[in-house]
Amino acid sequence: MLIRDYQQNELIKLNRFIQSIDEYRMKYHLRHIKLTRDYALLINRRLGNPVSSKKLSYAALAHDVLKEKTFDPTSPDREYDGHIIPSDIIKYVRSNLDTLEIYGMDEYFNSDVNWHPLAGGIFLHKELGVDDPEIIYPVIFHSCPIMAVYETLSYNIRTMVDIIMLADKLSSNYIRINYRESNVAVDLDAVVFGTNGKQFQYDIGLLVARLINENKIEGDQVKITNDHYLNRVLENNPWIKIGKIGGNKKWPKRKSLAFLT
């Protein structure tokens, strides 16, 4: 699928409309998806640009398109530019298992994957006509990749999934530290890029991103996924002994390299 700049701009407008129910949430949401895009492009460059930057940008801007924190499932669906915006995300997913089946995800709709990544993938396919697996899977899997499906995918798609998953966590972690001044378990930007910005700990970053998410989502699939990323770290760094992430605390604010993309 060929992605053009105007499509990314339209996607930002769509995100703004969907989240416009709550202005505070909308501002956070737009900051988050744009920073996710910037981090994804930065990671891709550090990896030697193995995947399409245009597709990465689109997937990053789309990954939370149906983030449901401000949605009221009892409200009627909305419409934007001919696209139906569902209000009940769970109902939307359960009503579109045929679309998930295309991507081998129909058996996992009730698993450890959050509802909004599945809904986002369905929405992209049905409403926006996106059927490129290099975009759909990163959206569906940005919260928790299902390893039984992930391991069947091509190198490019798996790389897209990993980059978006890490970029998503980098963005939310950075915003919590530098804008919300919240207590968090770890400065993920420092883990991945070092406090001097000259490091690049990709596999370790992926694992830490998974461990950060471990407290939010529990279940068998989460454990399988986390074990996958742990084994990747141990295979590449056999001297490392993995411990638990510590308790939350305030971290010093820093300028992120993502802002230089």
Confidence (pLDDT) at 255: 76
* Domain range enclosing 230: 5-260
Q: Which residues fall within 8 angstroms of residue 90, CB to CB, at 6 or more apart?
A: 73, 115
pLDDT for res 193: 96
Yes or no: say if 117 and 141 are a contact pair by the CB < 8 Å rule. Answer: yes
* Single pTM value for the model: 0.90
Paired sense of beta strands 83-85 and 78-80, if any: antiparallel
85: β partners? 78
Q: What is the pLDDT of residue 112?
A: 63
DSSP E strands in the chain: the ranges are 78-80, 83-85
Q: Would you state the pLDDT for residue 235?
A: 86
pLDDT means per 10 residues, the chain with 261 residues, are 85 95 92 98 97 97 91 93 95 96 91 86 96 98 94 98 98 93 91 94 95 72 91 81 62 75 58
Kindly report the CATH number assigned to the domain that includes residue 171. Answer: 1.10.3210.10
Supply the pLDDT for residue 190. Answer: 96
What domain count does the chain have?
1
